[in-house]
Amino acid sequence: MFNLFKKVLGKTNEAIKEVAPEKKKSIDKEEFEDILLEADVNYELVERLLEGLPEKINRVQAFNSLISVFQYKADWKESDAKPFVEMIIGVNGAGKTTTIAKLAYRYTQKGRKVILGAGDTFRAAAIEQLSRWADKLGLPIIATKQGHDPSAVVYDTIESAKAKGYDNVIIDTAGRLHTQTNLSEELKKMIRVADKALPGAPHRKMLILDGTQGSSSINQAKAFNEMIGIDGIIITKLDGTAKGGSVLSIANELKMPIFYIGTGEQPEDLIDFKANAYVNTILDEIFL
């Protein structure tokens, strides 16, 4: 796990080394502040994390400060429902489709039967991309043409899963935040239709956040949460950015479960998020 987090936070740790090239047993408070800002932790949170810390900070003190961000009560929203229906939400380009493939792969590796629903009918490219992944992974997919009603896809996917005994349903959604009112109504309708097809569905609404957006992705998350209520977060593309500290800002602002971190482009490149491992991987670059 630690090696995987080291891979994910590689560029973040390179940026930290520029601020703190030598590892030490303790560092100055000001230096710790510079490190956190360099890693894209937002300023207000940095100030809060430094409160109560001495002028010379050791590893244990730094760990206790950073880990405190994750000490909120999070509802992990698990369910024994079969099929278990997940709706995957996020702006275009955040990595939704690839993440759906990763989730599907993870479930099939556990012996579960998975079906996909191409609910982003706004973009032909989204339907094609998800269909390619379904083909590559040998999974069934319910898809329609661009412009068709995405709620019909939701209904048909859940009905098919019920009829054929599937364990997991993963449904893609559109992510065009610039037409927020339309998107909000569309998503709400998809959720209503899911509940009609299977009472209680969708059992989990997962938000995909692009790690390269850093702390600015928080505003996206808040917008989607206000629209429909988000149950959990998956952060993508952290391996391609020096903004790894934004995870602290995201956790602090949203206080939602962070389920997974994307670590690359392949179906197996998804790891469970572990707050201790995340914090320790950052501190490994700072302290002896």
In a domain, 114, yes or no: yes
Q: Which residues of 58-72 are buried (b: 16+ CB within 10 A; e: fewer)?
A: ebeebbebbeebbee
The half-sphere exposure of 21 on its side-chain side, counting CA atoms within 13 A, is 1
Residue pair 119/150 in contact (Cβ under 8 Å)? The answer is yes
210 within domain boundaries:
yes
CATH of the domain at 251: 3.40.50.300
Identify the pLDDT of residue 109: 98
Q: Is the pLDDT of residue 2 over 60?
A: no
Asked, for residue 239, whether it belongs to a domain, the answer is yes
- pLDDT score of 213: 87
Q: What is the pTM assigned to this prediction? A: 0.94
Which pLDDT belongs to residue 7? 87
Which residues have C-beta within 8 Å of that of residue 82, sequence separation ≥ 6? 167
Greater confidence, 97 or 217? Answer: 97
Query: DSSP letters of 82-135?
Result: SSEEEEEE--TTSSHHHHHHHHHHHHHHTT--EEEE---TT-HHHHHHHHHHHH
Are 83 and 157 contacting, i.e. CB atoms less than 8 angstroms apart?
no
The model's pLDDT over 229-264, given as tens digits with 9 standing for 90+, comes to: 999 999 999 888 899 999 999 999 999 999 999 988
Q: How many domains does the chain have?
A: 1
Give the residue, 74 or 165, on which the prediction is more confident: 165
Distance of CA 109 to the CA centre of its chain: 20
Distance CA 256, CA 73 (A): 8
Say how far apart CA 157 and CA 139 lie, in whole Å.
Answer: 13
In a domain, 90, yes or no: yes
* Cα 124 from chain centroid (whole Å): 24
> What percent of the chain has a predicted confidence (pLDDT) above 90?
84
Contact by Cβ (8 Å): 159, 194: no
Average pLDDT over residues 194-214: 94
Q: 34: which residues sit within 8 A by CB, 6+ positions away?
A: 19, 20
Q: Is residue 173 part of a domain?
A: yes
Residue at 170 is within a domain:
yes
Does residue 16 lie in a domain region? no
Burial of 240 (0-12, 13-18, 19+ CB in 10 A): middle
Residue 115 lies in a domain: yes
SS3 263: coil
H or E element, residue 286 = none
Q: Which domain holds residue 147?
A: 84-281
Residue 89 near residue 221 (C-beta atoms within 8 A): no
Identify which of 225, 195, 187, 231 has the alpha carbon closest to the alpha carbon of residue 81. 195
At residue 215 the predicted structure's pLDDT band, cuts being 50, 70 and 90, is: low
Q: Is 92 left (phi over 0), alpha (psi -120 to 50) or beta?
A: beta
pLDDT in tens, 81-132: 999 999 999 998 899 999 999 999 999 999 999 999 999 999 999 999 999 9
Residue of 245, 212, 233, 261 whose CA lies nearest to 66: 245
Local confidence band at 4 (pLDDT 50, 70, 90 cut-offs): confident
Cβ(87)–Cβ(206) below 8 Å: yes
Average pLDDT, the chain: 94
CA angle 125, 152, 182 (to 5 degrees): 70
Phi (first) and psi of residue 133, to 5 degrees? -65, -45
pLDDT of residue 67: 98
